Structure 1
Amino acid sequence: MLVDLAAIQRNFRKLAQITSGTCAAIVKGDGYGHGMREASRALQSIGAELFFSARFEDALTLRADLGAGPRIAVLDGVSPADMVEARARDIIPVVNSLEHLQVISAVAKQTAQRVPAFIHLDTAMNRLGLASEDDEYAEPLLASCRVQAYMTHFASADDVDIDLCRRQVSRLTERAQPLPRAPFSIANSCGVFLGSELHGDIIRPGKSTFGISPLADADNPMEQPATILAPVVQIRTLKKGDPVGYSCTWHAPEPRRIAILAIGYANGFMRDNSNKGSVVFCGQRAPVVGRVSMDLTAVDISALPETGAHVGAAAEIVGSTITYREVAETIGTNEHEAIIALGRGCKRFFVNRGANV
């Protein structure tokens, strides 16, 4: 997996230029499979000052890598057991429940200092965040916080459900009205492209920073930073009727040449690619034949010249021809899952480490 850090930087700059507020760097899921640490350093070098991770341990890694400058927040919150370390490392919790807010209040009393926190008000997701019935209990406890922003998360921006997005913004505005004044953090990647009325003061575009299309049914305005290649480790010539792979789910309809690639589901090339995925050699497609196994995949190269697919040649799994979206649609999932799986399973190499574009 070859990751172009300059492409990540260009994506972030483009997103930051769309909003009049702050653009946060969302680096959860190991930077959506692209490498959290390397991507975060690249984003810091072009001025990113607010980072969100999903887990506390990732926030600790970011603080060690990025130094004391940027704000670093944890979307899933910080557990009571980790609050002392979070305060010592200047890591900001996102408050997702009344119980969490009570812990923050207790810490503030013990230290005689208000605790910086983002306050998540749930307005439709019913996942994380303070419910509306918590508000009357939360209001007095917020005196213990230095509220960085009130945030919510769109439930159906991906589906361009603008009416629901607007209702969520309205609910957030209404619920925050009696609370201590603070900025709003609203738009995710999809929301950024649905109009400035949905942005708030801090946008949180995660997937689009890493080249994943913000809107499912529209052209992707972002650059794909990753190219994933797999080497050919063997060429085989099959007779008519010869099977390939586990359970013999494919048989050669006539004499065929197949290439065996050193990639499989252990590398994030999902088993659902069996008999329906494809790879590319020098701009020409080669379909996956037989079952994808743990470390190996067979593709039919009968239509390709021998000079195009040979032992040692590289097959494009993701790149200029095969988009993130295509990889995801082939296996019936979203781009996040597909690319994160490949990012976890494939060795990563980074280019343009010193880019500041």
Structure 2
Amino acid sequence: MAPLPPATLRLSVDTDALAHNWRALDTMSGSAEAGAAIKADAYGLGVATCLPALRDAGARAFFVAHWSEVPEAIAHVPAGQVSVLHGPSNAQDAAFARATGVKPVINSLAQARLWIDTGAGACDLMVDTGINRLGLSMHEIGDAAVAQLEIDTLMSHLACADEDSAMNAGQLVRFREAVAAIPARRLSLANSAGIALGPDYHFDVTRPGLSLYGGIQRREHEGVIRQVAQLQAALIQTREIAAGESVGYNATFTASKPMRIAVVCLGYADGFLRSWNGASLAFGSARLPILGKVSMDMVVVDLTAAPDLKEGDWVDVPYNLRNAAEHTGLSQYELLTVLGKRWQR
């Protein structure tokens, strides 16, 4: 097969900014060690790119969600540094954990018994302190199966850490109750936003995720967390339209004067959803407003501010996560994880 032509979508990861963000969050974690959530292909930015940068910055505890995410992770770090958050659902999962050496996170009494019955060994344990997702309920922490586990990290997950909510303090109280009842080598409660809640929430290991990749959830992150993802898309056609002509599906934009416009190779198949309608792309300091609706594979922009652009030129996609979230109504998590496969990384 002939080699593929160059891509018309580029996603670059600023690994220096990524390493800076981990070091900043590690410093904010005080005496605790900052780990790194690398689930969902490092929040859409690529484990193969991000994990070595995080490892080299100093991270030693890594968290994935699915068993399918394990092979790529352990290609870069020792298996014992990787925890699988969804835990073992069957004997095959347990066998895979032992064969690779990664740690399952036990989330229920059923998982605890499965892990014990298939041979036990080191694991992590999630206790639910109020988010009501995965994790042992508080009334289950005294069960005999829990006492048989060899727990490396006892953890819970905050529901409202990005807000100044009374729920944070309530979860902290319940986590301390679990800590008093369950022996473990290490303790972990705080996610990215939880780190900013202060030392009471840090314990031994923090688990930053979104903020590693440029997400800003609390004021304490402002001026500290740097943008990591830089996106560019190519112009694939330019054209002139007359006053009265419309652009795109449903003719939602009609030109009031003659205009020079460009079709950009970018659409909702690439994670650039219709919630971006009304936004602008950029060329240097020039803003290029999107005209009409975002399509599956393309958008159309106004070239008035950059009239010399031509087919094959590249424009920037605004991906400051906080600003993008405000415009689109998407969460900062979604903005990263919806990015598709066509980006050349």
One fold, TM greater than 0.5?
yes
Query: What TM-score does the superposition give when structure 2 sets the normalisation length?
Result: 0.91
Q: Is the 8 A contact 1:268 1:345 kept in 2?
A: no
Aligned-pair identity (%)? 31
Q: Deviations over 1:69-93 (max 9, x none)?
A: 6511011112222111211111101
Read off the aligned partner of 2:121 and give its amino acid letter.
V
2:13 to 3, 24, 27: 3
Name the structure 2 match of 1:157: 161
Deviation sequence 1:274-311 (CA, Å, 0-9, x none):
2x111111111111111111111001122x1423x322
| Residue in 2 that maps onto 1:22 | 33
> Is contact 1:93-1:118 (8 Å) kept?
yes
Distance in 2, Cα, partners of 1:282 & 1:180: 56
Q: 2:116 is matched by which residue type in structure 1?
A: S
Tell me the CA shift for residue 67 of structure 1.
Answer: 4.8
Query: Could you say which residue in structure 1 is the equivalent of 2:45?
Result: 34
Query: Distance in 2 between the 1:82 and 1:121 partners?
Result: 20
SS at match of 1:159: coil
CA distance in 1, matches of 2:195, 2:116: 33
CA contact (8 A) 2:45 2:229 kept: yes
Q: Secondary structure at the match of 2:291?
A: coil
- Deviation readout 1:161-180 (Å, 9 max, x if unpaired): 2x321211110111231222
Sort the Cα spacing of 1:305 and 1:68 in 2 relative to 1 into closer, same or farther, 3 A.
Answer: closer
Residue equivalent to 1:232: 235
Mark the CA change 1:326 to 1:295 in structure 2 (over 3 Å): closer, same or farther: same
Distance 1:98 1:214, change over 3 A: same
Query: Is 1:255 paired with 2:266?
Result: no
What is the aligned partner in structure 2 of residue 336 from structure 1?
Answer: 333
Map of 2:183 onto structure 1: 180
Aligned counterparts of 1:234 and 1:115: Cα–Cα separation in 2:
59
Give the letter for the 1:98 counterpart.
Answer: L
Query: For the residues of structure 1 that align with 2:213 and 2:276, how far apart are their CA atoms?
Result: 23
Q: CA deviation at 1:45?
A: 2.2
What is residue 347 of structure 1 aligned with on the other side? 343
Are 2:212 and 1:209 aligned? yes
CA drift of 1:8 comes to 1.0
User: Where does residue 68 of structure 2 map in the other structure?
Assistant: 57
* Structure 2: 5+ residue stretches without partners: 1-10
Q: What displacement does 1:190 show?
A: 0.4
Please identify, of 179-188 and 117-126, the stretch whose mean Cα deviation from structure 2 is larger. Answer: 179-188
Matched, 1:285 2:296: no
> Is the 1:214–1:220 contact (alpha carbons within 8 Å) kept by the matching residues of 2?
no
Task: Provide the rounded CA distance (Å) in 1 between the counterparts of 2:311 and 2:69.
Answer: 39
2:83: which partner in 1? Answer: 73
Task: Give TM-score, length-normalised by structure 1.
Answer: 0.88
Give yes or no for contact 1:49–1:69 (8 Å, CA) kept in 2: no
Q: Say which of 126, 129, 143 aligns to 1:120.
A: 126
CA distance in 1, matches of 2:48, 2:150: 28
> Using the alignment, how far apart are the partners of 1:217 and 1:259 within structure 2?
40
Give the aligned residue type for 2:129.
T
- Contact kept, 8 Å, 1:3 with 1:226, in 2: the verdict is yes
Aligned length: 333
- Structure 1 unaligned regions, length at least 5: 109-113, 350-357
Q: CA, structure 1 residues 14+70, in 2 after alignment: closer, same or farther (shift >3 Å)?
A: farther
Following superposition, the deviation at residue 189 of structure 1 comes to: 0.4
**1:133, distance to aligned residue in structure 2 (A):** 2.5
Mapping of residues 306-317 of structure 1, within 5 Å = 306-307=307-308, 309-317=309-317
Superposition deviation, residue 223 in structure 1: 1.0
Contact persistence 1:268–1:346 (CA under 8 A)? no
The residue that corresponds to 1:241 in the other structure is 244
Q: What letter corresponds to residue 7 of structure 1 in structure 2?
A: A
